Amino acid sequence: MKYALVTGGSRGIGRAVCLKLAEMGFSVLVNYQSNKTAAEETKSLVEENGGTAELLQFDVANGAEVEKVLSVWQETHSDDYISVLVNNAGIRKDNLMFWMSDDEWNSVLDTSLKGAFYTSRALVKYMMNKKFGRIINITSISGVNGMSGQTNYSAAKAGVIGMTKALALESARKKVTVNAIAPGFIDTDMTKDLNQDELKKLVPANRFGKAEEVAELVGFLASEKAGYITGQVINISGGL
């Protein structure tokens, strides 16, 4: 079996990625923290399309929990390993810096940056041992350009970009690629509170992107055809 883990796989970009990887023949591990109903919906959608999926509940921001859950999974799948990891889990708590609380800063970095570190650290050793792996980090245009009101989110996503580039250098000899995708405005639950009519005026393509468009890029980077691409950050932002 080919296994792929998608963190934050229950909704939005994560759900679209789960469906795409299942279409490619991967058995998808759908990670979620608390919204089991949404995770089960993703699992059902995968199965309705002829794929296989399994739910994995853990908080990516809790390093001990990540290590425990993934170690138990590996013990029960001794002949297999997770060859594709998509670090998609993330949260937004926007505020201007002079009003930003410690919790707003820490919780965003814990989920987006530490979470990607914990899951990557737990799985990259297996990928390197098997001499094949794909780590795809969903970052953000906010981490590339910065965005007002998002110093926490921009810092977290910029940190993921730095981690992507460094880990790519460490793992390339073992045929493990590490890349980042930086979406702009994508029409998901995370952006439902934004004024789409006003913000799309900033986008040369004059629209928000679709989660499925991000998933298509994930699918390519997860494939064997992308074996010579590593350490890269690819914007998918309509030209923003």
Segments forming the whole domain that contains residue 197: 3-236
Label residue 117 by pLDDT band (50, 70, 90): very high
pTM of the model: 0.94
Question: Which DSSP symbol is given to 231?
Answer: S
For the chain, how big is the Rg over CA atoms in Å?
A: 17
205: number of CA atoms within 13 Å, CB side?
A: 12
Tell me the mean pLDDT in the region 178-199.
82
Tokens of 23: 């279409």
Q: How far apart are CA 151 and CA 140, in angstroms?
A: 13
Instruction: Using the predicted structure, report yes or no on whether residue 199 has a pLDDT greater than 70.
Output: yes
| Catalytic annotation, residues | 153
Tell me the mean pLDDT in the region 161-169.
98
Sign of the torsion angle spanned by Cα atoms 172, 182, 126, 130: negative
Report the side by side order of strands in the sheet with 53-57: 53-57, 27-32, 3-6, 82-87, 133-138, 176-183, 233-236
Instruction: Using the predicted structure, report yes or no on whether residue 196 has a pLDDT greater than 90.
Output: no
Instruction: Using the predicted structure, report yes or no on whether residue 190 has a pLDDT greater than 70.
Output: no
Residue 209: predicted pLDDT:
86
Tell me the mean pLDDT in the region 109-121.
97
CA distance readout (Å), 28 to 21, 70, 89, 187 = 7, 14, 15, 23
Q: How far apart are CA 203 and CA 205, in angstroms?
A: 5
CA distance readout (Å), 89 to 13, 80, 96, 109, 145 = 10, 24, 23, 11, 20
Work out how many domains the chain is built from and give that number. 1
The 10s digit of each residue's pLDDT in 53-107 is 999 999 999 999 999 999 999 999 988 999 999 999 999 899 999 999 999 999 9
What CATH number should be reported for the domain holding residue 152?
3.40.50.720
Are residues 121 and 167 in contact, defined by beta-carbon separation less than 8 angstroms? no
Are residues 181 and 138 in contact, defined by beta-carbon separation less than 8 angstroms? yes
